[in-house]
């Protein structure tokens, strides 16, 4: 099963909103994935146990896992395109 890491500054506020939207979309698309939340400080060492990162903040350059920017999931502008991009990245 694929693992999606939702990252924000503290791992609580915006990542909760984004994680709910990502889970709902992946379920609707029939894509099995584990969606977990974390904070940007979890990424500082560059070691990431995930197939994809969806981030509301900047991700350290040392991270080699693909990153999708989550701002559209907070603003609603471009939300469907971003959700589709996440689904494609996991397929």
3 state SS of 61: coil
Q: What's the Cα-to-Cα distance from 47 to each of 7, 83, 91, rounded to whole Å?
A: 14, 25, 23
**Catalytic one of 6, 8, 19, 40:** 8
The C-alpha R_g of the chain, in whole angstroms, comes to 12
Concerning whether 73 is annotated as a catalytic residue, the answer is: no
| Cα separation, 41 vs 27, whole angstroms | 28
Cα separation of 66 and 18, whole Å? Answer: 17
Active site residue ranges: 8
């Amino acid at each position: 099963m694929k693992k999606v890491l939702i990252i924000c500054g503290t791992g609580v506020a915006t990542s909760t909103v984004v994680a709910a939207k990502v889970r709902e979309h992946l379920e609707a698309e029939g894509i099995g994935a584990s969606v977990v939340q974390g904070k940007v400080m979890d990424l500082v060492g560059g070691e990431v146990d995930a197939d994809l990162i969806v981030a509301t903040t900047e991700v350290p350059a040392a991270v080699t896992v693909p990153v999708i920017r989550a701002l559209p999931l907070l603003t609603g502008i471009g939300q469907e395109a971003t959700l589709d991009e996440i689904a494609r990245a996991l397929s």
